[in-house]
């Protein structure tokens, strides 16, 4: 039976309420594996695990229960090791790393910020701020719309300006929020988002961080800015002691019903 890993914590902070269960149908009982100063919160891993809503919520609930007694390094949904010995072996091998992470992440949460352009608004922004684009558009207007070549030239110029604006806005998003974060993790590029950045934020500074997000929205009305959090600090833990089960997702991702 393979071992499903929910998180890593200090050996002195392993209090999980009796009867706590995790993923699976029926839900698997939670167990604690210890090695040196560390402990791993685990259960048996059910076969055919998929990111269904029930199991995603079970994963999150285990972490929430464990966090009540101390800092936990959260593993992403679907983190599975071959067996218990594999988990404790990695705890021993990476003890210094995990202990450092526990100290660094204590009292902190993750906010994931994604930003994209509002199409009509960014076109107005480009026209207002790019004199070259504005001049050509005005010339075409006076010429009754312009020739096919002139229209094509304007379209290419606008597309280029919008692309450049994406780069500027991605930098602006990070620069606006980074001063309020203890650490920053830039996520993988994804279709439709010009920025995908995770920020490590002290719990007692969360309202200040969210206020800065609102200020960013106000100062950049051509941006759609989405804030997801507070989350366990998944982006600031790797590497974990287990691989990901095939087709497994992340707890903050959309679940299958």
Tokens representing residue 228 in the block: 């997801």
Is residue 22 helix, strand or coil? coil
Residue 235 · residue 110 · CB < 8 Å: yes
> DSSP strand E in 60-107: where?
72-74, 79-81
- The domains of the chain are located at 3-105, 110-231
pTM across the whole model? 0.79
Is residue 54 helix, strand or coil? helix
What's the CA gap between 76 and 6, in Å, rounded? 7
- Give the pLDDT of the chain (257 residues) as one tens digit per residue: 799 999 999 998 766 888 889 999 999 999 999 999 999 999 999 988 888 999 999 999 999 999 887 899 999 999 999 999 999 999 999 999 999 999 999 999 999 999 998 888 888 887 788 787 777 777 767 767 767 777 787 778 778 888 888 888 999 999 999 999 999 999 877 777 899 999 999 999 999 999 999 999 999 999 999 999 899 999 998 766 665 554 333 333 333 33
What's the CA gap between 124 and 137, in Å, rounded? 12
């Amino acid at each position: 039976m393979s071992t499903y890993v929910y998180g890593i914590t200090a050996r002195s902070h392993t209090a999980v309420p009796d009867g706590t269960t995790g993923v699976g149908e029926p839900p698997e009982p939670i167990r604690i594996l210890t090695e040196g100063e560390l402990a791993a919160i685990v259960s048996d891993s059910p076969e055919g695990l998929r990111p269904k809503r029930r199991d995603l919520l079970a994963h999150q609930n285990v972490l929430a229960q464990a966090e009540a007694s101390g800092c936990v390094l959260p593993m992403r949904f679907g983190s599975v090791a071959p067996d218990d010995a594999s988990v404790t072996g990695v705890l021993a091998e990476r003890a210094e790393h995990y202990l450092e992470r526990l100290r660094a992440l204590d009292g902190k949460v993750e906010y994931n910020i994604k930003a994209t352009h509002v199409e009509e608004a960014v076109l107005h922004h480009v026209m207002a701020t790019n004199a070259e684009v504005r001049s050509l558009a005005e010339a075409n207007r006076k010429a009754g719309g312009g020739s096919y070549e002139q229209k094509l030239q304007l379209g290419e110029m606008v597309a280029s300006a919008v692309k450049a604006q994406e780069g500027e806005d991605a930098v602006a998003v990070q620069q606006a929020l980074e001063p309020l974060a203890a650490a920053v993790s830039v996520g993988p590029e994804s279709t439709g988002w010009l920025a995908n950045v995770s920020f490590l934020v002290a719990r007692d500074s969360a309202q200040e961080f969210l206020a800065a997000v609102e200020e960013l929205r106000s100062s950049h009305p051509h941006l759609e800015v989405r804030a997801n959090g507070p989350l366990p600090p998944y982006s600031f833990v790797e590497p974990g002691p287990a691989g990901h089960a095939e087709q497994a997702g992340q707890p903050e991702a959309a679940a299958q019903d």
